[in-house]
Structure 1
Amino acid sequence: MKATWEKIEKNLGVLEVEVDAERVAAALDKAFQKVVKKANVPGFRKGKVPRPIFEARFGVESLYQDAIDILLPEVYSEAVEQTDIFPVDRPEVDIEQFEKGQAFKFKAKVIVKPEVKLGDYKGVEVPAANVEVSEDELNEELTRLQERHAELVVIDEEAAKQGDTVVIDFDGSVDGVPFEGGKAERYSLELGSNTFIPGFEDQVIGLATGDFKDVTVTFPETYQAEELANKEAVFKVKVHEIKRKELPALDDEFAKDVSEFDTLDEFKSDLKKQLADRKSKEAEAEREKVLVDKVGENAEVEIPEAMVQSEVQNMVRDFDNRLRAQGMNLDMFLGFSGQTVEDLKEQMKVDAEKRVRNNLVLEQIAKAENIDASEEEINKELQDMADAYKRSPEEIRNILAANGSLGSLREDVLLRKTIQFLIANAKEVAAEKSEEAAKPAAKKTTKKAAKSEPKAEEAAGAKTDEE
């Protein structure tokens, strides 16, 4: 087999391949063995028609497409390896010649991984880690723990206020006509959770136990039930019960209930260490993110749209997996949020492009610095996964190999080593200086992140809208 590669422009090129006639004949044989099982020829059972009779009746050309389907994937893969290119999308194939007794010739337009021109990646400024835990931070964590262990106490004499949980009946209608999902009895609603249609919870605040009220709201324009979108609805609401959180006292008994310590002082001392560890890990993760983003921005690379779309698909799949871990799925989320898959993909596109850019730049740095993932490091990663999943390293390796993910594991190890190299060669600066320099970019990044990272937990709130 002969294969040549010619670059046309940027990341696009033509792969020209010629396969000898012997392999064409072998592919035709395989195609015949496949087709003959279904061939219906008088006087012969299916699968028993002789090749000459089959070709005389149907023509050898009837085997060509099946033969091409058999031969093309394997010779394309060989040609890619032979020419040492890295395709990032399906090729656009043009069959130039395929005949019995002749060579198989085809051309394929291929989009390949782009070239990366590195900018500065050593001595890049990153914020120094600040792991000191202030008294305010410690008190905030203690308050969160109190909230988590609070008891809901029934309030009889007071009106409902923000943060209370009200047990209500509601019956909704549009133009006097009830609608599906608009009715419930003894439903527990936390006021301020924003789980109902905007404006609903605000109108329940101030009601007392036993009160009735007609709550008037307007469904959002993007509401999942199109027949209700932008419509005004009236909910007849009855308040059965009001519950308010009663925080436990911060004392030794509280410490015993929530920890292994006997006194509040001991618990606070341990909690402060935990917060410091958490801040250290968060600071390290933030430093890595800032560093990788800066190095990525310093490089020059033209990213093919196909790579961005592929990463978007990966992000959608990961998001779906996170939803499933919370008892939902992507279809449910889209229904509750009033979005489409295309809306979600568009939101993720900015982050997807950044991920692709950063990974390409990290790969190029690894090549420039001769960074590699050793078998010992791969084996350690497999052992860590085996420990986590209570399996043997060999089982994990076989599972990854069967899924085609063993190469991805090596890439992950390589990327982590490259980031460690960048951290070791970075320049630490005071957090104040780093934050001041990064303010405009940080605002821009935050806005994009908010737009492109839908949160799985939002679905839980949107879900109640339908109810």
Structure 2
Amino acid sequence: MVVDLERTDAAGKTEKRQDVTVELGGKANPPGFDQQLLGLVGGATKAFSIQYPSDYPIGELAGTSVSYTVTVKGIKRRVLPELDDELAKDLGEFESFDALRARVREDLEHEARHAAAQETRGALMKQLAARVPYEMPASLIERELDRRIEDFARRLVEQRIDPRQAGIDWNAFRDSQRLVAREAVAGALVLDEVARREHLDVTEAEADQEIARYAERNGRAVAAVRAALEKEGGLSTVYAGLRRDKAVDFLMARATISRE
């Protein structure tokens, strides 16, 4: 659906955007936004408000009401191809649709295992952070906050949203991330200590593999990624991340996990 969009936040600030593509069911859509658009036809205009829940991830929107006025300029329908061998061959080196289906199942199972591992890792990091009895250096927390804000802004850009015009109170967002930033810093310090005590080192070959994986995920040349890392002093971050991964694996192998 292609729309002209007018958005007014709780503070009365209005933002207008034209020719915005909205995919019904898209994960980036505000809560309840899709339901308001259902049934609209080309040329229709509708005004409505969205009440963001109190636990909404963007702190400055949580618990607030935002008004929207939407004018539909066009409606597009996604046409799905036939699920057959020809589709499988068009999508890659698959001889048949059964081969494609097997790969999809394998990928979904891998994602499920990865999600479970991430959940367990998150719980472990919380426990590690809770065991640090002293306050974290403010400089480390501020650096982690900077990283989180940059990551969030990058995700907005990927959704074709200008972070400067998104109506976000960045100071409020920063404050909403302070507790999790403290936990992340504390957990990282514990992992660094585990890696030091257990002599968990990262080889150059392992770092090269990680850089190659990153380049592949982002569609960039390995040489270009490495050059950028060397220029920005990012190679040490790659090594530190891999070393912490090894520390997590070390602790997970010795942990007793209970699920309620």
TM-score range, shorter chain: 0.5 to 0.7
In the superposition, relative to structure 1, how do residues 355 and 253 fare at CA in structure 2: closer, same or farther (>3 Å)?
A: same
Which amino acid letter does the alignment assign opposite residue 307 of structure 1? Answer: L
Structure 2 residue 223 is the aligned partner of structure 1 residue 391:
yes
How far is the alpha carbon of 1:422 from its aligned partner? 1.0
- In the other structure, the counterpart of 1:30 is none
Q: Report how many residues are paired.
A: 235
Query: Within 2, Cα distance between the matches of 1:321 and 1:342?
Result: 17
Shift in alpha-carbon separation, 1:262–1:283, aligned structure 2, 3 A: same
- Aligned mates of 1:353, 1:206 — CA distance in 2: 46
Superposed counterparts of 1:33-432, under 5 Å = 165=1, 181=16, 190=23, 205-207=38-40, 215-217=46-48, 242-324=75-157, 332-336=162-166, 338-367=167-196, 369-373=197-201, 377-384=202-209, 388=215, 389-391=221-223, 400=230, 403-405=232-234, 407-427=236-256, 429=257
SS of alignment partner, residue 177 of structure 2: helix
From the superposition, tell whether residues 340 and 384 of structure 1 become closer, same or farther in structure 2 (CA, over 3 Å).
Answer: same
Tell me, yes or no, if the aligned pair for 1:199 and 1:217 is still in contact at 8 Å.
no
SS in 2 for 1:215: strand
Q: Do the aligned residues in 2 keep the contact of 1:301 with 1:357 (CA within 8 Å)? A: no
What TM-score comes out, normalization by structure 2 length?
0.63
Structure 1 residues 310 and 214: alpha-carbon distance in aligned structure 2, compared to 1, 3 A threshold: closer
Report the alpha carbon displacement of residue 253 of structure 1 after superposing the two structures with TM.
4.2
| TM value normalised by structure 1 | 0.39
Change in 2 beyond 3 A, CA 1:268/1:414: closer
Task: State the shift of 1:356 in Å.
Answer: 0.9
- For 2:130, the aligned partner's letter is E
Checking the alignment, whether the CA contact within 8 Å between 2:125 and 2:183 is kept in structure 1 is no
Distance 1:426 1:249, change over 3 A: same
CA gap 1:346/1:407 in 2 versus in 1, 3 angstroms: same
Give the CA deviation at 1:359.
1.2
Distance 1:408 1:317 in 2: 16
Q: CA deviation at 1:262?
A: 4.1
Answer 1 or 2: higher relative contact order, Cα 8 Å, separation at least 6.
1
Tell me if the contact between 2:33 and 2:50 (Cα under 8 Å) persists in the aligned partners.
Answer: no
In structure 1, C-alpha distance between the alignment counterparts of 2:27 and 2:111, rounded to whole Å: 29
Structure 2's unaligned 5+ residue stretches are 8-13, 53-64, 216-220
Give the CA deviation at 1:283.
Answer: 3.2
Identical amino acids, percent of aligned pairs:
24
Residues 219, 232 of structure 1: 8 Å contact kept: yes
Residue of structure 1 equivalent to 2:218: none
Deviation, structure 1 residue 342: 0.5
Higher alpha-carbon deviation: 244-253 or 268-277: 244-253
The offset of 1:382, in angstroms, is: 4.6
Deviation at 1:412, TM superposition (A): 3.1
SS of the residue 1:357 aligns to: helix
Larger radius of gyration: 1
Give SS of 1:277's match. helix
Paired residues of 1:371 and 1:417 also in contact (CA < 8 A) = no
What's the Cα RMSD here? 4.6
Structure 1 counterpart of 2:168, which letter? Q
Matched residue type, 1:383:
D
Other structure's SS at 2:223 match: coil
